[in-house]
Structure 1
Amino acid sequence: MVSAADRAKGPSRTSVWLEGKPAGRRAGRKPAQPTGLDREKIIAATVRLLDSEGAAKFSMRRLAAELDVTAMSVYWYVDTKDDLLELALDAVFGEVRLPDVGDASEWRGQLRALAVEYRGVLVRHPWVSALIGTFLNIGPHSMGFSLAVQEVMRNTGLPPHGQMGGLSAVFQFVYGFGTIEGHFIQRCAAAGLSQDEYFREAMGSIREQPDFSRHFGNAAELMKARGGETVAEMRERDFDFALELLVAGIEAMVARAV
């Protein structure tokens, strides 16, 4: 077991995947170890709670209540709350459908597929965005996604010194887009409104205020020009167009042999 003091001394080396034992499971089995409980059930319940209540309300006691066990029972399978959050983070990356990246000529479709899958994880699980930069994120599912992304970026033809920049351009865009989208959907749900209802009410409130209305005049014209009858349709158009810009940018940089 890694102590809190050890974690504080070496945060850059701390990960549930680096502790020399099966991730998230205490070694050995003791007589008092709970039955009817396992790591997979604990992680699944953690993901459900994080989805429904968010990271701010998550606690080991709340998780134990959800599982109908004692808090100490959970600690037979994970050492700390952070370990459990890291396991949950990797679990949701298991939802990502990885494309076959063997054909280098198909990199455009491969890149789009990975971008769409990454966005989906961020939207379905809004708590994920805050954890991605908090943990090393080196679990098997996360690494599978990362390796696929790297292979696709090599397939683009960008020189080695430009591949990380290309990766950042695409996937940091997706991270920002998916994070904002996920938080907006959460806010609508908390207000008891659909996305379209929330958008109409928000825009109506803005138009009622002369100062805001004046500043939002150009924005309203842009939103009209972007097309789409619903918030979801407008968002899809924006995402697709932005991704096409990034693909075109990669193609242009390859053509310049940067």
Structure 2
Amino acid sequence: MSRAAQPTKPSSDPSTGSVWTRPQRSRREQPALSRDQIVAEAIALLDADGIEALSMRKLGTRLNAGATSLYTHVSNKDELIELVVDQVYGEIEVPKVASRAEWRAAALECGNNARSVILGHPWIASVLGEMGMSYLGPNMLRLTEDMLELFESGGFDLVQGGMALKTIWSYILGIAATEAAWMTSLARSGQSEDEWLAGMASIAEQAIAPYPRMRRLHAEQTAGAVDETRRSNFDVGLGFILDGLEAQRRQ
């Protein structure tokens, strides 16, 4: 066989910059500190103090471990972010359905499950642009497979299901990440959501005074509890998307 025709091995080039494309060490080479321990502690740090607090040095201190132990599992902070994001995706549950009639309610439940998980880890809004190849993570792959199955149960073919998944996921991330960023900003202020809105009420009312439609919309949206309104708005928006997907499927 000529040199040019020889089969090539799958690339493990570290320049791809992803924890998922780097060869794993053998069990014999693994240090006492496990990847699961690192990821769990990193998420605890992020949940408590936010993305600004995350550093390899600080994480090592919390784990009572040297940098060598951490770098055995991750080459840098970007790879660590891939791991923690995939772990968070693992918390999202996709309901199983027994008939086509159940798929829409299951899709709505899945969307709310994803929203709740993201709001439970609001720092994730800060890393959406830094997730690298997180789509190759095992939890993200499982989530994608389960969502494709959900759409298949609703009568979508595989290509339609793939487009539906991308559409819904974009909506979920857009809404939930915006909410998460808002909640993070609110936490820094030291105020509750109701306190902040009460303080801004008169300013907002003066600003929208010349705009009659915005005044009416503002009055309707502030009639209920803030968190309930955000949840309701999310459901309504997702419902619009599901309506469109159903219409497209019928065509």
TM-score of the aligned structures, taking structure 2 as reference length: 0.82
**Distance of 1:53 and 1:193 partners within structure 2:** 17
**Distance of 1:241 and 1:206 partners within structure 2:** 24
**Distance of 1:247 and 1:44 partners within structure 2:** 35
Query: What amino acid sits opposite 2:161 in the alignment?
Result: Q
**Distance of 1:180 and 1:149 partners within structure 2:** 23
Written as runs of structure 1 = structure 2, the 5 A alignment for 1:106-121 is: 106-121=102-117
**Distance of 1:106 and 1:126 partners within structure 2:** 30
Q: Return the offset for 1:184.
A: 1.2
Gaps of 5+ in 1: 1-5
Q: 2:231 aligns with which of 230, 236, 239?
A: 236
The equivalent residue for 1:218 is: 213
Change (3 A) 1:124 1:86: same
**Distance of 2:53 and 2:210 partners within structure 1:** 37
Q: For each residue in 1:116-161, what CA deviation from the matched residue of structure 2 results, as whole angstroms up to 9, or x when unmatched?
A: 1111222112232454453222222111111111122233334555
Query: What amino acid sits opposite 1:128 in the alignment?
Result: I
**Distance of 1:206 and 1:50 partners within structure 2:** 33
Gaps of 5+ in 2: 1-12
**Distance of 1:144 and 1:66 partners within structure 2:** 30
Q: Secondary structure at 2:74's aligned position in 1? A: coil
Change (3 A) 1:26 1:131: farther
Are 2:41 and 2:63, in contact at CA under 8 Å, matched by a contact in 1? yes
The equivalent residue for 1:190 is: 188
Query: What amino acid sits opposite 1:245 in the alignment?
Result: F
Work out whether 1:47 is the aligned partner of 2:50: no
The equivalent residue for 1:163 is: 161
- How many residues matched? 237
Work out whether 1:20 is the aligned partner of 2:12: no
Query: What amino acid sits opposite 1:80 in the alignment?
Result: N
**Distance of 1:206 and 1:51 partners within structure 2:** 31
Written as runs of structure 1 = structure 2, the 5 A alignment for 1:246-257 is: 246-255=241-250, 257=251
Q: Give the percent of matched residue pairs that are identical in Structure 1 and Structure 2.
A: 27
**Distance of 1:128 and 1:151 partners within structure 2:** 26
Kindly report the root-mean-square deviation, in angstroms, between the aligned alpha carbons of the 2 structures.
Answer: 2.5
The equivalent residue for 1:99 is: 95
Are 2:96 and 2:106, in contact at CA under 8 Å, matched by a contact in 1? yes
**Distance of 2:240 and 2:218 partners within structure 1:** 19
Are 2:51 and 2:126, in contact at CA under 8 Å, matched by a contact in 1? no
Work out whether 1:136 is the aligned partner of 2:136: no
